[in-house]
Amino acid sequence: MSNKTAISLFSSGGIGDLAAHALGIQVLVANELLPDRVELHRRNFPDTNVIQGDIWEKTEEIISATRSVLAGRTLDLMFATPPCQGMSSNGLGKLLNGIRKGEKPKFDGRNQLIVPTMKVANALQPETIVFENVPEMENTLIEDPRGGTICIVDFIKRELGPSYYGSWDVVEFADYGVPQRRKRLITIFSRNQSLRKFIEDYGTLLPPTTHSQDGVNGKKTWVTVRDVIANLPPLDAKNKLSATSEIPYHCVPILDDKKYYWVSNTPPECGAFDNQCVSCGCCDNPVHGTAKNDRGINRARNDTPIRCKECGELLPRPWVEEGGEYRLMSGFTSAYKRMSWDKPASTLTRNLSYACSDHKLHPEQNRVLSLFEAFHLHTISDFDYEWLRCDGRTVRFKTVRDVIGESIPPRGLRLIYGFILLIIEDYHRASAAHSHGITNCHQRLLFSALES
């Protein structure tokens, strides 16, 4: 077990901190804006000083509280997951076009949260800093406090200075045995000499992946939805009786009649936008999809039929009624679409309980996923975690969904943290595991090191 120290910024309900605690890392201080997340965090990590409030206003309190509990020791790890909603490749293009035209760019204020984050980092000088965010973070521009614009990663490098060495990689968490497709940019900066040497030698601080889609080169195949939730009691979103079970959180929202009609006629591996005629059995109606508009941009087709070409009846496709007339609902082609049994789940977002969200329908049952299933697909079920406030009351289902959507699967993060510790404590064993890939021998070597 480790005796390392850490702080956690933008910690939400502390799901990411489960990985640190599992490795014996003491999370001394955490910061979170929203009170419902703070309640969860304090309940599950009573030894952590959770500071509630805006990091812009709480910067000095975070620094002071951390210094106080460190009592002269080095802070080993800082983990930061700034909100990702403001980061997108489309936003970058718009900003750059505006700058070229001489227009003053409009920045998303959430992206500027990296500024107080770096103030905390510079004050506390943690040995290693781990940032987690969407892949678009690598190319996201912010307003430079010194004037002009700067890429977030370049801002981090500049603010930390030459004593820190870094690497950043897009991680597919399914490659680490998480039963969910979730891509995130993991950015790691450190002033530890073993970590610096490892980056120089291998270009990354990430552990070798343990899984792959095809399961080749000694790796296991991806963990699938079937592997994790196939044996749970069935549920149906038609009525309250069929939508609940005796297992806590294994229940689903009821669908109204029209949505249930769309979903119940959606075959496995398909989406409701492609449903065929129920009345006459015609299977030749054109399916939905995307097409390029006059600017060459892919958009959902707007000519997908809503009525059967043979009998004229409404197809069980998502529709909108306006003045007695029906039209196909606009939206992504992945809406009202079933997950595959034999693949990892799609990314669990804060909208995971909405049928209209991307690939959120159960593989065969007429419903969305239950929160209990989400706990397993997000690997929270690997750890001890209570969905309770400090006063013992349960939190709202919306809060549970939000915390899952905001967090990183802790099983994958545990491997990343564990590999960093392995490099620090035994550079040669970490090098062996990385150089040879995950063969059975080296997989045992890596996991035994992480569990020691």
Q: Does residue 2 surpass a pLDDT of 70?
A: no
Helix (H, G, I), strand (E, B) or coil at 248: coil
At residue 129's C-alpha, the angle toward residues 124 and 134, to 5°, is 135
Q: Tell me if 353 is assigned to some domain.
A: no
Q: Does residue 452 surpass a pLDDT of 50?
A: no
Q: Does residue 89 surpass a pLDDT of 60?
A: no
Helix axes 427-436, 440-451, angle to 10 degrees: 150
Question: Mean pLDDT, to the nearest integer, of 25-33?
Answer: 97
Q: Does residue 217 surpass a pLDDT of 50?
A: yes
- List pLDDT tens digits, range 371-381: 999 999 999 99
Q: Does residue 261 surpass a pLDDT of 90?
A: yes
Q: Does residue 103 surpass a pLDDT of 70?
A: no
Contact (CB, 8 A) for 19 and 79: no
Residue 442: its pLDDT value, please? 42
Residue 293: its pLDDT value, please? 62
Residue 111: its pLDDT value, please? 84
Residue 106: its pLDDT value, please? 66
Start-to-end CA distance of the chain, whole Å, equals 6
Question: Mean pLDDT, to the nearest integer, of 400-419?
Answer: 95
The H or E element that residue 202 is part of is helix 193-202
Q: Tell me if 253 is assigned to some domain.
A: no
Give DSSP secondary structure letters for 273-292. Answer: GG---SSS----SPPP-EEE
Whole-number Å distance between alpha carbons of 337 and 331: 12
Q: Tell me if 304 is assigned to some domain.
A: no
Question: Mean pLDDT, to the nearest integer, of 323-348?
Answer: 92
Q: Tell me if 203 is assigned to some domain.
A: yes
Average pLDDT, the chain: 90
Q: Tell me if 25 is assigned to some domain.
A: yes
State the pLDDT confidence band at 330, using cuts at 50, 70 and 90.
confident
Residue 449: its pLDDT value, please? 46
Which CATH number belongs to the domain containing residue 143 in this structure? Answer: 3.40.50.150
What domain range is 94 assigned to? 5-219+409-451
Q: Does residue 70 surpass a pLDDT of 70?
A: yes
Q: Tell me if 49 is assigned to some domain.
A: yes
Residue 446: its pLDDT value, please? 52
State the pLDDT confidence band at 101, using cuts at 50, 70 and 90.
low
Q: Tell me if 400 is assigned to some domain.
A: no
Question: Mean pLDDT, to the nearest integer, of 379-392?
Answer: 96
Q: Does residue 439 surpass a pLDDT of 70?
A: no
Q: Does residue 367 surpass a pLDDT of 70?
A: yes
- List pLDDT tens digits, range 51-69: 999 999 999 999 999 999 9
As for how many domains the chain has, the answer is: 1
Residue 84: its pLDDT value, please? 55
Q: Tell me if 248 is assigned to some domain.
A: no
Residue 134: its pLDDT value, please? 79
More confident of the two residues 101 and 142: 142
Kindly give, in sequence order, each residue whose CB lies less than 8 Å from that of residue 335, ignoring residues fewer than 6 positions away: 271, 272, 273, 318, 329, 355, 356, 357, 358
**HSE (side-chain half, CA atoms, 13 Å) at 157:** 11
Give DSSP secondary structure letters for 313-346. Answer: PBPSS-EEEETTEEEEPPS-TTBTBBPPTTSPBP
By percentage, how much of the chain surpasses pLDDT 70?
Answer: 88
Question: Mean pLDDT, to the nearest integer, of 35-49?
Answer: 97
0.85 surpassed by pTM? yes
